[in-house]
Chain A
Amino acid sequence: MRTRRARRIGFNVLALLVFGVMVFPVYWMVSTAFKPGSEIFANTPVWFPYHPTLGNFGNAIHRPHFWADVKNSLIIVSAVVAMSLALAFLAALALAKFRFYGKRAFIILIIGVQMIPLNALIIPIYLVLSKAHQVDKLSGVIVTYLTFVLPFTIWTLRGFMLGVPRDLEEASQVDGTTRFGAFLRILLPLIGPGLVATSIFAFIQAWNEYIMAYVLLHDPSKQTLTVWLASFTGDRGTAWGPLMAGATLTALPVVIFFVAVQRKIAFGLTAGAVRG
């Protein structure tokens, strides 16, 4: 009894320790963002923002190009999500609901292309786009982002469509609905949550992307938020407070979305893997 209790306490202490180490950088970012300069530039770290201020956030959002870059990020991300979702919906339907010759090859292609490093692909893409006068244009970045968002979206949506029980579709047919009606009334509502989750993941991927935007967009008012943040990080003699505020703002939409949907996708892997 006694040893079991000691074991339990030991594990809990260990868990707190792991929690502390892992979460600390995130905590440090947010707490620094709220600290006044005197607490940031202290010889002994101040562990908690005792005099919280929004000054760092004000400074960050009034820095040059912040709002322009937020807008660019939003434009790029929405266009990429919309385009890849439309294309992926059709392809995923084929993969999940049809049997056809070449299906396996297509699946291998979809998984395989996701393994190609973007920092290698950017070399030819830059040259092609510069020839087509698409450098420093959002449209060029949008097309470029399809390289990684589209295959990913197809594969994820396929997973959600596989989850729809066939019996349900068949039952609706017996009841005399038309094929298209069956599709609209049965399949669409069932994969609705999957569509939402997939688009959120596509959003996060496009929002986080750095290197393509960094190479393709030179004009500071035409960049994305990640490029803005990275160039801010690079300034030596950095204004750490505003930087942490900017970092918090950049991470915020991603974290909210991610926490909302991560279960939907992440845990599919292992369920399938153990079974197979």
Chain B
Amino acid sequence: MSSRFPAAAAAVPEPALPSRRPRRPFASRLGSGAAPYLLILPACVVIAAVLGYPLYFMGRLSLEHYGLFQLIRHKGEWIGLKNYSQIIHDGLFWHVVARTLAFTAVAVSLTMVFGTLIALLLAELGTKMRVLLTAGLIFVWATPVVVAVAVWSWMIDFEFGVANWLLTYLHVGNFNHHDWFASTWSGWAVITSLVVWGAIPFVTLMVFAGLTQVPQELVEAATTDGAGPWRVFRDVTMPLLKPIFVILISLSIIWDFQVFNQIWILLNGQPPPEYFTMSIYAFTTSFQQSQYGLGSAIALVMVAILLVVSFVYIRQMVKIGDAE
């Protein structure tokens, strides 16, 4: 979703209190089979209008030539699959896809590794330190993306930015007046750090909450049998936390694959092609080149890729929902 925080964090089920008897729905008392349908009807109508129609429209747009002229007339020109064939033969498109995949792989790996390590660290801490670190993580989590970008762009300011000063001070190199976006590699390093930094708290707190549910007897039994910390993590903790990891990894992929705001604002709304991800490519094609049909086709390819990942996520969520 748009922000990295509660969107999906909250899209998770609250634990239902265990009820011993079989479900006895309210419905039987209200005595009407139509009631639930009437209740979801308004929401369905709104979702169909604000989501369903735009999605359908996007599909149609991707089969149309829709430029400035069409924008004025509010009517596209049917061209079949031409937009898609244009994308396929567009070298930049494949670059952008590869770059988006690479960025997603790096960012998700870093987020998961650091998030899990910090969660394991939290589990080792005393109460005071744990509360302190948790509080810090929650502050970072709560920081809106737009605000985070403002702060990071100040930290990497070429003249008075604290990052350049620190790296020079630590003798990493001469970073005086270093422009982080002069080279693509360092530019992407900034973007990746910013995204990973913002994503770590959610992952950490989720993994930590999962860790607290791992039965201590299991860990102790394994330790008595001579298992080291790594074996305990791999053979006891990991399997128990697998559902959480499935959810966290698929969510992180979904979020990082569509990364937009951080890059867009850091680069002042004019990212050069080296900083294009799929969402930025679709966006600039639509809104800066006024090629709405072509942009929609790119966006739909992105949605299709995300759909595969979402499938894993949704399946896990439904499984959990069934267990309630």
A156-B10, A265-B10 given; A42·B160 CB < 8 A: yes
A90-B40, A121-B58, A211-B260 given; A26·B11 CB < 8 A: no
The closest CB in chain A to the CB of B279 belongs to A119
The closest CB in chain A to the CB of B310 belongs to A115
Q: At the interface, is chain B mostly helix, strand, loop or mixed? A: helix
A97-B26, A98-B36, A123-B296 given; A147·B121 CB < 8 A: no
Which chain B residues lie closer than 8 Å to A120 at the CB level? 58, 258, 279, 282, 299-300, 302-303
Inter-subunit contact B145/A210 (CB<8 Å):
yes
CB distance from A245 to the nearest CB of B (A): 11
Q: Is A196 an interface residue (CB 8 A)?
A: no
CB distance from B281 to the nearest CB of A (A): 10
Query: Of the candidates A19, A162, A251, which one forms a contact with B133 in the assembled complex, judged by CB atoms under 8 Å apart?
Result: A19
- Give CA–CA (A148, B6) in the complex, Å: 12
- Give CA–CA (A11, B132) in the complex, Å: 13
Which one, B79-87, B91-99, B103-111, B239-247, is touching chain A?
A: B239-247
Inter-subunit contact A22/B201 (CB<8 Å):
yes
Mark interface residues in B123-145 (1 if CB within 8 Å of A CB, else 0).
01110011011001111111111
Which chain A residues lie closer than 8 Å to B66 at the CB level? 127
Q: At the interface, is chain A mostly helix, strand, loop or mixed? A: helix
The closest CB in chain A to the CB of B154 belongs to A240
Query: Which of A147, A207, A272 is most buried by chain B, counting CB atoms within 10 A of its CB?
Result: A272
Query: Of the candidates A8, A42, A159, A173, which one forms a contact with B29 in the assembled complex, judged by CB atoms under 8 Å apart?
Result: A173
Residues of chain B touching chain A, judged by Cβ–Cβ distance below 8 Å, are: 1-3, 5-17, 19, 21, 23-27, 29-30, 33, 35-37, 39-40, 42-44, 46-47, 50-51, 53-55, 57-58, 61, 66, 71, 74, 118, 121-122, 124-126, 129-130, 132-133, 136-155, 157, 159-160, 162, 165, 197, 200-202, 205-206, 209-210, 213-214, 240-241, 243-244, 247, 254, 258, 260-261, 264-265, 268-269, 279, 282-283, 286-287, 292, 295-296, 299-300, 302-303, 306-307, 310, 313-314, 317-324
